[in-house]
Amino acid sequence: MPSSLEPSQSSSANPLPARILVADDDPSSCLFFGDGLRSLGATAEIFSDGLAALQRARTETFDLLLLDCRMPGAGALQILSELRNDAQACSAESLAVATTAWLECSDRRLLLDAGFSEILIKPCGLANLQRLLALVQPGRHDLPVLDDRAALVATGEVTTMRALRRLLREELTLLEGELDQLSRDSTSFNERLHRLRSSCGFCGAVALSTQAALLQRHLSQPNATAPSLARFHKVLQATLHALDAV
């Protein structure tokens, strides 16, 4: 069973629902994403054509872009590239998540380097959508510290999962001792967090991956970095504790 953090309190009693743009040409995926996101309190606009989704993202501001890697008109990489290079696009800086039914290790690196915060493997469940919403509405969703199912999907079998988790524990122990130094060098810190999120993906370290992505977003915002760093450190310690227990 996945371990979990205690739920934290939202800073607002009635936060506005997250606005999500979904671009996917598979009808079943569109139905799942639309119904699932709405059941979790978000609003979702669904597009089956990449160019139509791109145009909508240019004229409207979304909290999260959920983009399929392969679909008519334009895939996830093209859509995000067009938005990031258009300073006038309303969703130019929106958080982006790539979705795909199949992912090679090299593709994961390519997508993360292109600016995607996460890669979601289909088919998925409501817990995956809950995790994505935590990226844009931190504090509203309780996330697992270690998710065995996600780790097994990424690694393929238990022995590999356990070996990678041992390596992650070593990485986190080292990182914890370097946090103060890294916090004074946003470029190096961002690169370190980028690599960490890849490790977390293979190990099912869901909560830490989410906090790392949030911290990356805040590194360029001095007033937001300190509280984000504190949350990251707390989840890092929880992840170390969970790794010690397995």
Q: Which helix (H) or strand (E) holds 45?
A: strand 43-47
Residues contacting 241, CB < 8 A, separation 6+:
none
pLDDT band at 26 (very low <50, low <70, confident <90, very high): very high
Mean of per-residue pLDDT scores for the chain: 84
State the sign of the Cα–Cα–Cα–Cα dihedral 185, 113, 21, 144.
negative
Longest dimension (CA), the chain: 49
When pLDDT is cut at 50, 70 and 90, the band that residue 223 belongs to is low
Average the pLDDT over 66-94 and give the result: 90
Residue 35, pLDDT > 80, answer: yes
Q: What is the pLDDT of residue 5?
A: 43
**CA separation for the pair 168, 246 (Å, rounded):** 13
Q: Is the pLDDT of residue 12 over 90?
A: no
Pairwise pLDDT comparison (107 vs 180), residue with the higher score = 180
Residue 106: per-residue pLDDT = 65
Cis peptide before 123, with omega less than 30 degrees from 0?
A: yes
Average pLDDT over residues 15-31: 91
Reference 180, options 110, 232, 224; nearest CA is: 232
- 128 vs 120: CA distance, rounded Å: 8
* Model pTM score: 0.63
Per DSSP bridges, beta strands 64-68 and 19-23 are parallel
Whether residue 138 has pLDDT greater than 50: yes
Residue 3 has a pLDDT of 43
Contacts of 16 (CB under 8 A, 6+ apart): none
| The pair of three-digit structure tokens given for residue 15, joined into one six-digit string | 């936060």
pLDDT (tens digit per residue) in 119-135: 888 888 888 888 788 77
For tokens 């993360």, the residue is 112
How far is 53 from 21, CA to CA, in rounded Å?
A: 8
Q: Report CA dihedral (177, 182, 184, 190) to the nearest 10 degrees.
A: -150
Which helix (H) or strand (E) segment holds residue 236: the answer is helix 222-245
Q: Is the pLDDT of residue 28 over 70?
A: yes
